[in-house]
Amino acid sequence: MRRRGLLLTFLIYLVIIVALVGCNALDSVLKDGSSKGPLAQILDRTQNNYTDDISDATPVIAEQQQGESTIKLYFADKEGRYLIEINRTIPRTLSLAKETVCQWLMGPRGEMADIYPAVDPRTALRSINIKNGVAIVDLSGEFLQPYSNVHPETTLYGLVNTLCQFPTVEIVKIRIEGHDINTYQGISLDNLRFRADLIGGSTGPGVEQPEPEPEPGTKSPSSINLFD
């Protein structure tokens, strides 16, 4: 009986010693950065693979629509009697006609010497719709005010010629603050078409065809506008 007790005690001590030695050995492997044992190699390989995956990742970047459009704008000459045709390059947009009118309202940007705004720069575009060859332009009330020494015909056909450059536009109709008007400073607004006789200078051709503008209250792919 005593011999069994001694044997059991010996086995218990042996298990404790083996356990302690095994834990110390594992701890040594994990702490020793220079260890090349199997466990250390496995852990090191796993960590390196994870780091490489992160460093090689490419960020996802959404690119905006790129490209440019060349448009024609008709401004006033020094005396305000004739139109000067200039070319302007602008970022591409799905509503080219709308942006073209906005660019005309902004006035010259130093493209040529002795060219001047044909309209009061405070004038704002409220809406524009193109259907069956007719462009209906709704402007703010400042459009009706005489501007500098610019003749009424120069202002009026500066807008008309700017829009009629597009193959989809033959006639321009003008509204002010949502209301139809029949005359502009004594000039009839019936059948407003492109007038070449008022052009006194030019920088050359180059224009794209705009997307048709939808009727108010309708939705279509062409109604998507980057400038809204």
The pLDDT tens digits for 65-98 are 479 999 999 999 999 999 999 999 999 988 999 9
The pLDDT assigned to 201 comes to 84
Handedness of CA 42, 43, 45, 50 (dihedral sign): positive
CA 186 – CA 86 distance, rounded (Å) = 28
Q: Sorting pLDDT into bands at 50, 70 and 90, what band is 3?
A: low
- The string of pLDDT tens digits covering residues 190-216 is 999 999 999 998 765 444 444 544 545
The pLDDT assigned to 47 comes to 47
Overall average pLDDT of the 107-128 stretch: 94
Q: Any residues with CB less than 8 A from the CB of 185 and at least 6 apart, and which?
A: 144, 146, 152
The pLDDT assigned to 113 comes to 86
- The string of pLDDT tens digits covering residues 130-161 is 999 999 999 999 999 999 999 999 999 999 99
Overall average pLDDT of the 151-172 stretch: 97
pTM above 0.75, yes or no: no
CA 117 – CA 110 distance, rounded (Å) = 11
The pLDDT assigned to 57 comes to 35
The pLDDT assigned to 204 comes to 55
The pLDDT assigned to 17 comes to 54
- The string of pLDDT tens digits covering residues 14-72 is 556 545 544 444 344 334 444 445 444 544 544 444 344 433 332 323 333 479 999 99
The pLDDT assigned to 111 comes to 84
- Rounded to the nearest integer, the mean pLDDT of the chain is 76
Exposure of 94 by Cβ count < 10 A (0-12 exposed, 13-18 middle, 19+ buried)? Answer: middle
Q: Find where tokens 């402007």 sit.
A: 139
Side chain identity at residue 134, one-letter code: V
The pLDDT assigned to 14 comes to 57
The pLDDT assigned to 11 comes to 61
